[in-house]
Chain A
């Protein structure tokens, strides 16, 4: 066999081995992530201070760069478990949390969504919260020391508006970060029932903004001023979430 042919063959086999090796690594990382997520799922709810399971991101806005990463997962009731990770460009001494506006403002529902069970931590340290209802007014949280990284964890109640006529369990949900001082915003919605994401604040041609990867739908990165996402989804059956 000519040396040139042999060299070429070895080169291609090396490329093949590298690609298959990369594939095995990607699977192992994925399995490891799923295992971690399963562990988190079984843990007591008080320990849930990270993002919801399947949307774990290792990089991107809110995680390694300036911006917000919003990850949400629906319950059978239509409520959403939300994790909001924020990285500011400069240290901030206080946070302004604005209540999310719901589809009710678009005339599609009869109730505004409410934020409940809010937890805030800064670099893993919990922050004491004022006893103000997030449903009514923006609240201001003063921090003991300036920070560039904040994590919020909360439940968004009454966020879903049932579509009608539609298959049973199909709803629309509106998502937006509570903190609007950081940009861009990346939104991950986790769940097998998610069907589509729309960004109504974007120009018409960009409004269908979701891309799917496994059971995670992603919108963005979006400019903070336009960071509103409406999701169409089929709620999980009771007892499955």
Chain B
């Protein structure tokens, strides 16, 4: 019963949100694109004119570029593998009958609500510090030499911190998906003689497939722009400079805006490739 009157009212109600987001997207994006084609050094002469694709070429050719891509991929893939595998196991465990389920659930999801700067600082100092940190004490208690995790196993440490932050998210989503599984289907399979392993791979995994995909895609988008964890722990040292961090350093630390903007365009392209897949899944859901 949508009349023409209702339609124009609807358009009017949507306008503020659409206009704001359009501005938020187009204005900075246009500026980034513009800067990326210029030699722009705010502290050393300002805007020094058009340079074509020079920034794009220089960004890729710089010795920091490929390592940063490698670090980014290691971080994203490492965290994804850990959070998805442990997330499935944890979701299966939390789905079992037990005493105090609600409390355990709260314990498990708590890290998600810890702000990134806090989790990074707490892990850096209170957990991983070789002298006074918890693991340092633990290592000494067993007579072992404490390890300076953040410099000697820097990537592993950061992957651990970030996984700790994101495991609750994957667990919660997989648990939600698991709980929507039809119990009778499982029982039927059991009566037909399917063992626990067969039930897991032939019933649960296919049922969870969509949730797993969603977890992977959403986490990838957030993980590609991990910032605070690196800013606070290593500051990009010890081979932990991600693409995001490299761009941040180019733009704000060395104030080479043209070069940083070209890097920003690369980051946007990378994120969009992931986004296309996510949007497809979410979009399919809308037609339901």
Same assembly: no
Which residues of A are in contact with B by a Cβ distance under 8 Å?
none
